[in-house]
Chain A
């Protein structure tokens, strides 16, 4: 039963990968698209395996990118959550800072890059700033919304049992807003991930990253490596997204919010 469930979930994905590989192999092997435009799957695999390790390797680049992400997103989550609490607690903050957050969200974070370069120069701080400014509004808005959407039924029930003030916030509002908050974090990570790679491609910051590596490989003879790097970016994105989804499913299943498929 359990095994069949896993199989049901996995096979459409495996079929997709197999399908893409087959079409890719077919168009390259048949000569329909030349190797200067699209190398074969085998060429890309070779480029990948020969660039995994080393100072300019994919591992080192991925590590640099992920550390940057963890740091900038971590700070964005803390700041965004605090702003979100303030927005939920006060109508004045909601109307002022809340409007600012909505305004910021409508701006693609990479649009901050020119300003960041002028303020911080082509440094790590400029990259971090772009990721941070992209993550904060997403987290703040999700936090405030999830708190505001806590069912009044729960707060009424807790109040009649004698909970008020900080106790009411801590024991009812906080746990009740977790599912919505987690969804917000998932959105914030996606925004931050895209902002980070975009900033890296524009090649700022001294340290290595997947974006830097991608930009450094921009020449026809490196086409296999370019595709390999893109593949690594996609795989990292899928894995992190999967981790978020696993936690999300746990939160929802426990609360009966997950409709069994």
Chain B
């Protein structure tokens, strides 16, 4: 068993140039009641070009904060967020963001939603239709192009959101628990599709999830974050070749490993708060 561990707890040593980097980034929020909550503290990590990284951690560990900072929707209090060595100051079409809610525009058809992204990229009007069709085919939605988003099932809405994000031709795809609200089967189907899209397009991918199985299935590298204030406490490189299978024995052993480490972290926090299991 221990021979088979596909883990290395050392940083990614691949040759790919660095795409994204976080350097000693801290971010705090002031809540409505005036208390200051430290979301992340001194977070540093790098993501290589074309790498698929999953961020995982207990709830409230600042995963979404990291993603919003990468997207440029928020600015760090301290430290630097870099894309290709340049400071991220605002959102841009080079970084597409997928949310837990597909966030499709309800006043546009499925096709209209994809065309919206294409228009912002400056695609000529004459090519909109064909290009939108291309991305919808990619996620098996071409037959539903003329429907309104509310007429699609939950899984199809997520596919449409993926098509819209891909249509921006982003260098980086950021995803904030995009499949969190879906049932287990639909999740798996979309994970397989996403893996395929990523293999074909070669985008850099940063994926936030609380689902360990999802993280190990998709990622080249899983970064485990501590409880609030979040900071990386462990990294797992997953070298299993793709296409991967959910029943892969190696992946399952990684899942168990991460699960154990995550449980430790959750218990450590519970202990600090005087809420040991059994006392509640």
Residues of A that sit less than 8 Å from B by CB: 153-154, 156-164, 167, 171-172, 175-176, 178, 254-257
Query: Is there contact, CB below 8 Å, between A161 and B117?
Result: yes
* A157: contacting residue among B103, B107, B151, CB under 8 A: B103
Contact with A along B130-163 (1 / 0, CB 8 A): 0000000000000000001111000000000000
Tell whether A157 pairs with B97 under 8 Å between CB atoms, given A162-B92, A162-B121: yes
Q: A153 with B101: in contact, given A161-B96, A162-B93, A256-B151 (CB under 8 Å)?
A: yes
Let me know if B279 is at the binding interface, CB within 8 A.
Answer: no
Q: Are B97 and A178 in contact (CB under 8 A)?
A: no
Given contacts A154-B103, A175-B107, 7 further A-B contacts (CB under 8 A): A161-B117, A163-B120, A167-B120, A172-B105, A254-B106, A254-B107, A256-B106
- B71 nearest CB neighbor, chain A only: A160
> Which residues of B have CB within 8 Å of A256?
106, 148-151
Q: In the complex, are the beta carbons of B105 and A175 less than 8 A apart?
A: yes
Q: Verify B91–A159 contact, CB threshold 8 A.
A: yes
Residue of B nearest to A251 (CB): B107
Q: Contact residues of B with A, CB < 8 Å?
A: 71, 73, 90-93, 95-97, 99, 101, 103, 105-108, 116-117, 120-121, 148-151, 164, 168, 174
**Residues of chain A lying within 8 A (CB to CB) of residue B108:** 175
Known A-B contacts A171-B116, A255-B148, A256-B151; A160 and B97 likewise in contact (beta carbons under 8 Å) = yes
What residues of chain B lie closer than 8 Å to A167, measured between beta carbons? 120
The distance in angstroms between the C-alpha atoms of A105 and B225, with both chains bound, is 53
**Shortest distance in angstroms between A83's beta carbon and chain B's nearest beta carbon?**
24
Which A residues lie within 8 Å of B73 (CB)? 156, 159-160
Shortest Cβ gap from B177 to chain A (Å): 14
Contacts of A175 in B (CB 8 A): 105, 107-108
Most buried by A among B95, B116, B168: B116
The 8 closest A-B pairs by CB, nearest first: A256-B150, A162-B93, A255-B106, A157-B103, A160-B97, A175-B107, A159-B91, A153-B103
Residue ID in chain B nearest A174 by CB atoms = B107
Q: Which of A157, A171, A178, A254 contacts B148 (CB 8 A)?
A: A254
Which residues in B have their C-beta under 8 angstroms from that of A162? 91-93, 120-121, 168
- CB A230 to nearest CB in B, in angstroms, measures 40
- Chain A hits for B150, CB < 8 A: 255-256
Instruction: Find chain B residues with CB under 8 A from A153 CB.
Output: 99, 101, 103
Q: Is there an interface contact between B120 and A157, defined as CB atoms closer than 8 Å?
A: no
Interface contact A178-B107, CB-CB below 8 Å:
yes
Residues in B neighbouring A257, C-beta threshold 8 A: 106
Question: Are B103 and A161 closer than 8 Å at their CB atoms?
Answer: no
A163 to B96, CA, bound (A): 12
Residues of A near B99 (CB, < 8 A) are 153, 156-157
- Distance A176 CA – B73 CA, assembled complex (angstroms): 20
The CA-CA distance from A169 to B91 in the complex, in Å, is 16
Closest to B151 in A: A256
In-complex Cβ contact of B105 among A154, A160, A164 (8 A)? A154
